[in-house]
């Protein structure tokens, strides 16, 4: 295989970009095998961790555009993974709740994502994986709006 220029391979931004492409493909393929998408995972995970939420809240928490949240919640509701009901405290808002089937789907997706992590980070020890995760989290936190 042709090697990229060293000028690229020594830049963290290039390495992160290349790994991002690979990680997205692994996650996409894994989630597709469960009949799901990454947005589904984000939404189910947020509902599990934080409880029922409006679609707007889910969009902000999951960093998903509002129209994509509406579509994803619709798909999840159609499959029985979430309930979407009018919010009694706010007439124009829907409240989204995780169902038991949704929790089972989230657990299936967790298993897929665990395998993706193992594939992606295969050459690293458990300690190196923790260090990398901590460092990436620190860099991301630095760049997120406050």
* pLDDT tens string 26-49: 999 999 998 999 999 999 999 999
Task: Please provide the distance, in angstroms rounded to a whole number, between the alpha carbons at the two ends of the chain.
Answer: 43
Q: Are residues 54 and 46 in contact, defined by beta-carbon separation less than 8 angstroms?
A: no
Which of 88, 103, 93 has its CA nearest to residue 69? 93
High-pLDDT (> 90) share of the chain, %: 88
Q: Which residues contact 137 (CB under 8 A, 6 or more apart)?
A: none
- Give the whole-angstrom CA distance, residue 112 versus residue 2: 31
DSSP state of 4: P
Token pair 């220029």 is found at 5
Per-residue model confidence (pLDDT) at position 145: 80
Q: Does domain 25-141 have CATH number 1.10.10.10?
A: yes
DSSP state of 117: H
What is the DSSP annotation of 39-106? HHHHHHHHHHHH-SEEHHHHHHHHT--HHHHHHHHHHHHHTTSEEEEEETTEEEEEEEEE-HHHHHHH
Q: Are residues 43 and 72 in contact, defined by beta-carbon separation less than 8 angstroms?
A: yes
* pLDDT tens string 73-108: 999 999 999 999 988 877 788 899 999 999 999 999
Per-residue model confidence (pLDDT) at position 78: 97
């Amino acid at each position: 295989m042709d090697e990229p220029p060293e000028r690229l391979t020594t830049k963290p931004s290039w390495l992160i970009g290349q790994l991002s492409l690979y990680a997205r493909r692994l996650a996409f393929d894994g989630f597709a095998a469960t009949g799901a998408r990454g947005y589904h995972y984000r939404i189910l995970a947020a509902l599990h961790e934080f409880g029922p939420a409006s679609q707007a809240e889910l969009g902000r928490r999951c960093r998903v555009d509002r129209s994509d949240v509406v579509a994803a919640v619709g798909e999840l509701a159609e499959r029985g993974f979430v309930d979407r009901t009018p919010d009694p405290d706010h007439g124009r808002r829907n409240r989204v709740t995780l169902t038991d089937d949704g929790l089972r789907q989230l657990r299936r997706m967790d298993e897929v994502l665990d395998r993706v992590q193992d594939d992606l980070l295969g050459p690293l020890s458990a300690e190196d994986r923790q260090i990398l995760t901590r460092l990436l989290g620190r860099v991301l936190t630095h760049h997120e709006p406050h």
